[in-house]
Amino acid sequence: MLKSTRVLCVVVGVLILVGGLRAAGSPPEWAYNIQPAPPPGTTPAPPARDDGSLKTLPGAAKGFTLTEIRNGFGPADWYPSDHPQMPDVVAHGRQPDVRACSLCHYPNGKGRPENAGVTGLPVEYFKKTMNDFRSGARKSAEPRKANTNVMITIAKGMTDEELNAAAEYFGSMKWTPWIKVIESQTVPKTRSQGGMYLKLEGGATEPLGRRVIEMPDDAERTETLRDPRSAFTAYVPVGSLKAGKTLVETGGNGKTERCAICHGEGLHGLGPVPPLAGRSPSYVMRQLFDIQQGARKGIWSELMLPAVKNLSEDEMMTIAAYVASMTP
């Protein structure tokens, strides 16, 4: 009976993970974080209503209403002195389809776990990536990842001049520490909203398992006020940093390649190849999985394929965890 059960599990390809069962080869839920559908007969809670009051943040010279903060074609810029003057496409976008880059990625380009940190990316890499979105070479392995589909629409709607301006702007700024990595057996209980995990009140915890859970240090400042100075913490499994370090630095006896060969010393980037050190582990995991599954293609993605094709999901997780812990 035990043998037949084991065979059945292999045949149907299920993996037992924290949070339930899922088919082998399907995207890891913790990295893509698709918000669950509301129970039958209910509707999702609407965003907080704008009562017209000005919201404030520490050190900000002015306040903004919730409507101004959420404006897709001119969102709040809390700290103008933290970044160069934004090109118009970054600050305002262009209606109807080109949302302001600063809405999702922030004026400082730091981004959040559900999207990408774009500050400090090589200009050539940024432009190539945007053109991959345009051509269909870059998609998500999880078709429900709605903001990837939005990004494709934005890229197709941008002019070459706007694309170049955004690439030069974000490439002119230096990536600085943004994510604290903590090895742990447990993680605060969370709810999913807007592609992020937000800590529940009460301090309850749950087993972390073989996941990385990345969450804002201050949910209100991050999710509601879109504070570009409010950072994140990533909880990673105990032992994952050592395992990831081995894979990153040695290639794991042929399982992958030494990352520094292409991404440079300390993974700070090399020419047009992007830096990885200190970047979101959720984002890094999605890219490794997307490339492995063939959802992300293009010249540079094809170069990455040999480095990821033999990696297990758990090995990719440890690489993402270790990379996030490195000093930018």
pLDDT tens per residue, range 249-285: 999 999 999 999 999 999 999 999 999 999 999 999 9
Q: Which of 1-5, 36-40, 192-196, 275-279 has the lowest mean pLDDT?
A: 1-5
Picking from 171, 202, 217, the residue at the C-terminal end of a domain is 171
Among the candidates 147, 171, 195, a domain finishes at: 171
SS3 316: helix
Token pair, residue 221, equals: 């400042």
Q: Is 269 helix (H, G, I), strand (E, B) or coil?
A: coil
**Residue (of 282, 294, 236, 296) closest to 28 by Cα position:** 282
DSSP string of 140-206? Answer: -SSTT-HHHHHHHHHHHHS-HHHHHHHHHHHHTSPP---EEEEE-SEEE-EEEETTEEEEPTT--EE
Mean pLDDT computed over 30-58:
88
Examine the domain organization and report whether 126 and 197 are in the same domain: no
Do 197 and 289 lie in one domain? The reply is yes
Q: Are residues 159 and 215 in the same domain?
A: no
116: domain range?
67-171
Co-location of 237 and 317 in the same domain: yes
pLDDT of residue 23: 58
Q: Beta strands of the chain (E only): which ranges?
A: 14-17, 20-23, 179-183, 186-188, 190-193, 196-199, 205-207, 213-216, 232-236
pLDDT at 67 > cutoff 60: yes
pLDDT in tens, 187-245: 999 999 989 999 999 999 999 999 999 999 999 999 999 999 999 999 999 999 999 99
Supply the pLDDT for residue 39.
80
Claim to verify: residue 321 and residue 189 sit in the same structural domain: yes
Residue 51 confidence (pLDDT): 94
Q: Give the mean pLDDT of the chain.
A: 92
Predicted TM-score (pTM) of the model is: 0.91
Domain boundary among the residues 171, 199, 227 is at 171
Q: What is the per-residue pLDDT for 44?
A: 73
pLDDT bucket at 10, cuts 50 / 70 / 90: very low
Same domain, 220 and 278: yes
Cα–Cα distance for residue pair 179/159, rounded to 1 Å: 33
Q: Give tens-digit pLDDT for 89-122.
A: 999 999 999 999 999 999 999 999 999 999 999 9
Q: Which of 72-76, 274-278, 299-303 has the lowest mean pLDDT?
A: 299-303
Same domain for 287 and 226: yes
Domain total for the chain? 3
- Position 52 in a domain: no
Q: Do 185 and 312 lie in a common domain?
A: yes
| Domain membership flag for residue 55 | no
* pLDDT for position 43: 77
Residues 167 and 95 in one domain: yes
Summarised one tens digit per residue, pLDDT across range 128-180 is 999 999 999 999 999 999 999 999 999 999 999 999 999 999 999 999 999 99
Q: How far is Cα 207 from Cα 192, in angstroms, rounded to an integer?
A: 17
Tokens (6 digits) for 27 = 């995207």
Q: Tell me: do 229 and 125 sit in the same domain.
A: no
List the CATH number of the domain containing 123: 1.10.760.10
Residue 54 binned pLDDT confidence (cut-offs 50, 70, 90): very high
Confidence of residue 24 (pLDDT cuts 50, 70, 90): low
Between strands 179-183 and 232-236, the pairing is parallel
**pLDDT exceeds cutoff 50 at 4:** no
Comparison of pLDDT for 3 and 264, the residue scoring more: 264
Q: Do 142 and 231 lie in a common domain?
A: no
Given this model, what pLDDT does residue 15 score? 39
Same domain assignment for residues 204 and 161: no
| 155/233 Cα distance (integer angstroms) | 30
The reply to whether 227 falls in a domain is yes
Which one has a higher pLDDT value, 44 or 277? 277
State yes or no: pLDDT of 27 exceeds 70: yes
- Is 44 within a domain? no
What is the reported pLDDT for 171?
A: 98
At residue 99's C-alpha, the angle toward residues 95 and 103, to 5°, is 140
Does residue 14 sit within a domain? yes
Asked, for residue 259, whether it belongs to a domain, the answer is yes
Domain assignment present for residue 220? The answer is yes
Does 59 reside within a domain? no
User: Is the per-residue pLDDT at 313 higher than 70?
Assistant: yes
Res 6 pLDDT > 70: no
- Which residue has 């992958």 as its token pair? 256
The shares of helix, strand and coil residues in the chain, as percent rounded to the nearest 5, are 40, 15, 45
